[in-house]
């Protein structure tokens, strides 16, 4: 159980911080308006020039291997919803590090998601 | 600041791709890891052969391919939409995961778990009513 908790913690924390780094990098790249393959490759290349992207990808790789470990121990229908605990971390991170405004309505939605995740965990049998 | 219908459609389309490829990737990974067995050891000597098995699993590679597709859609949508909008909006993926877990991997999904998934959905609907972008970017 301790090992599973460590794996879930890694998926949530490394995954969320990794995503925040990627989000930060993509905001630096700017809005993508051209979706042709050549243009998309250019977007990827310019994203790779942002340090945040590399940090983000490294953290997401850590989260990926933790996910593989967790999936070897538990059902997909438990593991994936439990990782939704990153909602709290993600919304807080978006607010603190990216300066995004989070309305009370959005907080309410995030709270509902958290309750749902708790129920999914309780329904483990 | 763009608030056109086009921006919303683009956002919707990419989130739809995320909701399809994300769960598909996780289900493939779950299938692959089920074939390999439980990772309970943390000793490098035991983990390395397992890594070899992981890299030779077709299901794992299908999962990785799906997750790359998911990640690409995710990166693109983050270039204009807020993280704190995209992350909750794409959480509909949890319903898809529970459904695929049950149908494809024959997992037992209890009533409480479905209820949890439903509550997650309600949360998503509430979040979906908030605007996709709250910050100005030069």
Nearest chain A residue to B60 by CA: give it. Answer: A68
Domain interval for residue B107:
5-128
Chain B residues touching A99 at Cβ < 8 A: 135
Minimum Cα–Cα distance from A81: chain B residue:
B94
Q: What is the DSSP string of chain B?
A: ----HHHHHHHHHHHHHHHHHHHHHHHHHHHHHHHH-------HHHHHHHHHHHHT-HHHHHHHHHHHHHHHHHHHHHTTS-HHHHHHHGGGHHHHHHHHHHHTS-----HHHHHHHHHHHHHHHHHHTS-S--S---
Within a domain: B29: yes
SS3 A75: coil
* Closest residue of chain B to A34, computed from CA coordinates: B76
Confidence of residue A39 (pLDDT cuts 50, 70, 90): confident
Residue boundaries of the structural domains of chain A: 2-122
Averaged pLDDT for residues B110-132? 80
Q: pLDDT for A69-95, tens place per residue?
A: 999 999 999 898 887 777 777 777 778
Q: Is residue B134 part of a domain?
A: no
Mean pLDDT of A90-115: 82
Note whether A30 contacts B116, CB cutoff 8 Å: no
Q: Collect all residues of chain B within an 8 Å Cβ-Cβ radius of residue A40.
A: 72, 76
Closest CA to B131 of A6, A117, A106: A106
- Residue B124: closest C-alpha in chain A: A109
Where are the extended beta strands (E) located within chain A?
none
> Model confidence over B55-70: pLDDT tens digits?
999 999 999 999 999 9
Distance, CA of B113 to CA of B110 (rounded, Å): 5
Q: Given an 8 Å threshold on Cβ–Cβ distance, is A122 in contact with B112?
A: yes
Q: Is residue B43 part of a domain?
A: yes
Supply the ipTM of this predicted assembly.
0.76
Q: Is A96 on the interface with B (CB under 8 A)?
A: no
Whose CA is closest to B132, among B79, B67, B94?
B79
- Distance CA(B13)–CA(B50), nearest Å, equals 37
Q: Is B94 inside any structural domain?
A: yes
pLDDT in tens, B13-55: 999 999 999 999 999 999 999 988 888 777 778 888 888 889 9
Please give the pLDDT value at position A54: 93
- Residues of chain B contacting A108 with CB distance shorter than 8 Å: 126
Residue contact A30–B97, C-beta within 8 A: no
User: What is the pLDDT, as a whole number, of residue A93?
Assistant: 75
**Is the residue at B114 inside a domain?**
yes
CB atoms B116 and A90 under 8 Å: no
* Distance (Å, whole) CA B84 – CA B35: 36
B117-126 pLDDT, tens digit per residue, is 889 878 777 7
The structural domain count of chain B equals: 1
* Mutation target vs A (from B19, B22, B30; most A CBs, 10 A cutoff): B30
């Amino acid at each position: 159980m301790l090992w599973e908790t460590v794996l879930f913690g890694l998926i949530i924390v490394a995954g969320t911080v990794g995503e925040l780094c990627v989000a930060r990098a993509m905001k630096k790249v700017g809005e993508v308006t051209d979706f042709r393959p050549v243009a998309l490759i250019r977007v990827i290349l310019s994203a790779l020039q942002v340090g945040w992207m590399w940090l983000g990808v490294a953290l997401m790789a850590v989260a990926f291997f933790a996910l593989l470990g967790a999936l070897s121990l538990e059902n997909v229908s438990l593991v994936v919803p439990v990782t939704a605990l990153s909602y709290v971390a993600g919304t807080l991170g978006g607010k603190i590090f990216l300066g995004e405004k989070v309305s009370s309505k959005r907080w309410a939605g995030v709270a509902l998601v958290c309750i749902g995740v708790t129920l999914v965990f309780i329904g483990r049998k | 600041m763009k608030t056109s219908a086009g921006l919303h459609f683009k956002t919707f389309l990419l989130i739809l791709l995320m909701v399809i490829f994300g769960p598909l990737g996780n289900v493939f990974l779950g299938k692959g890891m089920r074939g390999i067995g439980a990772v309970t050891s943390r000793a490098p000597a035991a983990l390395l052969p397992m890594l070899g098995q992981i890299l030779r699993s077709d299901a794992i590679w299908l999962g990785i391919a799906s997750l790359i597709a998911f990640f690409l859609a995710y990166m693109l949508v983050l270039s204009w939409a807020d993280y704190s909008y995209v992350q909750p909006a794409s959480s509909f993926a949890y319903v898809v995961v529970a459904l695929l877990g049950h149908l494809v991997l024959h997992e037992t999904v209890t009533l409480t778990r479905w209820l949890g998934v439903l509550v997650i959905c309600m949360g998503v609907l509430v979040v979906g009513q908030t605007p996709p972008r709250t910050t100005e970017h030069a």
